[in-house]
Amino acid sequence: MEPSTPSKARIETDRFCGDCGYNLNTQAVWRDERLGILLCRCPECGRHHPAESNVTMAQDWLRRLTSLVAVVWMLGVVVFLSLVMLVTTAVASNLTSSWELERLEQAMESGTRERWIEFVAGALPFFVVMMIGSWTFVGVINLLASHVRARRLWPAALVPPGLSAGVVLAFTEPTSSAAASPAYLPMVLIVAAVTGVPALASYVLARSIWRGLVLILLPPRVRMGLLGLWTSDGREMPRG
Ligand SMILES: [Zn+2]
C-alpha cells in the first residue's frame, strides 16, 4: 500500500506498534484518502496503524498495570468471599456437633426460659460470626455487581443460608449421635435462619448503604467509577 498523500509528518513521540511492539518514533505519517485517517507503517512487521491511536510507553505500562491491579483485586475479592463463607459454614457445622446441640435439646425438652437463655447465650458468639459473614458476603456481591439492578441479586442472598445449612446436612454422619438428636433438624433450621435473615437484610439494604458510603467517603471525581450503584437502580447520582 503506497501513501495516497505523501506527507512530511513524522511520529515525534515514543509510540509502539500494537502488533510487534516496535518503537514507531520518527516513522512517516500520511493521510489515507479512502479511509480519511492518518496512517503510519511499522518498518519491523509491515503492518499499518492509525497514527492517532497513539500508545506511548507510559500509557502502555499504565494499561498493563491497570489490568494487573484489576486481576489481583478480583482474585483478592474471590479469596475474601470464599474465606467468609468458609468461616460461616465451619461455625455452622460446629454448632451441630458441639455441646450446643445438647443445650438446645435440653431447652426443647424442659421448655423453661432459663434453658433457652442458656442455649442462646452459649451459641451467641457463633451466631454473631455467622451473621457478620452472611451480611458481608451479600454486601460485597452487591458492590461487585453494581451494574446489576439490586433486586436481581436475590440469588446471592440464598447462598449463605443454603450453603451453611447444606454443609451441616452433608457433613453429619447419619449414624452419629448428632444426627440422632431430636434437636438436630431444629438446629439446622436455626443455622439457616441465623444466616438467612442478615443475608435478606443485606440484600434489601446494602445498595443504599453503599451509595451513602460512596457519597460520604469518595471525592466526586473518584465516585464516577461507581455510578452503577445509582444508574442500575434507575437513580441519578447526586451532584457535588
Ligand atoms: Zn510492528
Give the pLDDT confidence score for residue 5 in this predicted structure: 55
Give the pLDDT confidence score for residue 136 in this predicted structure: 95
CA of 25 to the centre of ligand 1 (A): 12
CA of 56 to the centre of ligand 1 (A): 14
Give the pLDDT confidence score for residue 120 in this predicted structure: 93
CA of 65 to the centre of ligand 1 (A): 22
CA of 21 to the centre of ligand 1 (A): 6
CA of 209 to the centre of ligand 1 (A): 50
C-alpha cell at 7: 506527507
CA of 31 to the centre of ligand 1 (A): 19
CA of 15 to the centre of ligand 1 (A): 11
pTM of the model: 0.70
Give the pLDDT confidence score for residue 8 in this predicted structure: 67
CA of 38 to the centre of ligand 1 (A): 17
* C-alpha 219 chain-centroid distance: 22
In angstroms, rounded to a whole number, what is the distance separating the alpha carbons of residues 201 and 145? 17
CA of 107 to the centre of ligand 1 (A): 77
CA of 60 to the centre of ligand 1 (A): 15
- Amino acid letter, 107: A
The residue to which cell 458481608 is assigned: 136
User: CA distances (Å), 108 to each of 45, 105, 113, 143, in order?
Assistant: 79, 5, 10, 41
In angstroms, rounded to a whole number, what is the distance separating the alpha carbons of residues 91 and 95? 6
CA of 17 to the centre of ligand 1 (A): 5
The residue to which cell 512487521 is assigned: 45
CA of 161 to the centre of ligand 1 (A): 55
The one-digit pLDDT tens for each residue of the chain (240 residues) are 455 555 568 888 778 887 888 888 888 888 888 888 888 899 989 998 887 755 566 777 887 888 888 889 889 999 999 999 999 999 988 888 878 999 999 999 998 999 999 999 999 999 999 999 999 999 999 999 988 999 999 999 999 999 999 998 988 888 888 888 999 999 999 999 999 999 999 999 999 999 999 999 988 777 877 888 999 999 988 876
In angstroms, rounded to a whole number, what is the distance separating the alpha carbons of residues 195 and 130? 6
Give the pLDDT confidence score for residue 129 in this predicted structure: 94
CA of 26 to the centre of ligand 1 (A): 14
Give the pLDDT confidence score for residue 66 in this predicted structure: 82
